[in-house]
């Protein structure tokens, strides 16, 4: 079901400052992208073998605000794995008793592809995102 690691997401208190650090190290850095349906602004750092997603709160009620309140310096927020078929992934997660966050239906993610988030309590404390290839 899982084919590869797509990205590691890091919540950051200052998006421009964080992006500048990666850019100074020679990484390819995307322009900020607002995702109002997820309550975040993201920047992607593209590496040869994966990506890093920098997350910053967008608007009131952003899920990242609470994370940054607990971790003011920022930190790893989630891991994203690619799957061939998001509907199959949803069915398999259900068969394993793994809870899907939100309404349990795929949403469109930052790459314009369907995504699901599994409850961290069902993945050893790690928030896991699944993105259809």
Annotation says 17 is catalytic: no
Contact 94, 83 (CB under 8 A): no
Instruction: Measure CA 116 to chain center.
Output: 10
Q: How large is the average pLDDT for residues 12-28? A: 97
Q: Which residues pair with 52 in a beta bridge?
A: 8, 45
Residues 6 or more apart whose CB falls under 8 angstroms from that of 96 comprise none
User: Is-above-0.85 flag for pTM?
Assistant: yes
> What per-residue confidence (pLDDT) applies to 115?
97
What the chain holds in terms of domains, given with CATH numbers, is 2-132 (3.10.180.10)
Q: For residue 1, is pLDDT > 90?
A: no
Kindly report the average pLDDT of the chain as a whole number. 95
> What per-residue confidence (pLDDT) applies to 121?
96
Q: For residue 60, is pLDDT > 90?
A: no
Question: Which pLDDT band, with edges at 50, 70 and 90, does 2 fall under?
Answer: very high
- Name which of 110, 103, 99, 122 is nearest 46 in CA terms: 110
Catalytic option among 95, 129, 131, 133:
129
Q: How large is the average pLDDT for residues 89-114? A: 94
- pLDDT 10s digits, 70-86: 999 999 999 999 999 99
Q: For the beta carbon of residue 112, count every other beta carbon within 10 angstroms.
A: 6
């Amino acid at each position: 079901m899982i084919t590869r690691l797509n990205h590691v997401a890091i919540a950051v208190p200052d998006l421009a400052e964080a992006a500048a650090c990666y850019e100074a190290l020679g990484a390819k850095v995307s322009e900020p992208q607002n995702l109002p349906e997820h309550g975040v602004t993201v920047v992607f750092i593209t590496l040869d073998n994966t990506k890093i997603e920098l997350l910053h709160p967008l608007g009131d009620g952003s899920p990242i605000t609470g994370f940054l309140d607990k971790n003011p310096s920022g930190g790893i927020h989630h891991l994203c794995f690619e799957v061939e078929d998001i509907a199959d992934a949803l069915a398999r997660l259900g068969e394993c008793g793994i809870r899907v966050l939100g309404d349990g239906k795929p949403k469109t993610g930052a790459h314009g592809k369907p995504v699901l988030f599994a409850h961290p309590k069902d993945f050893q404390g790690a928030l896991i995102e699944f993105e259809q290839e």
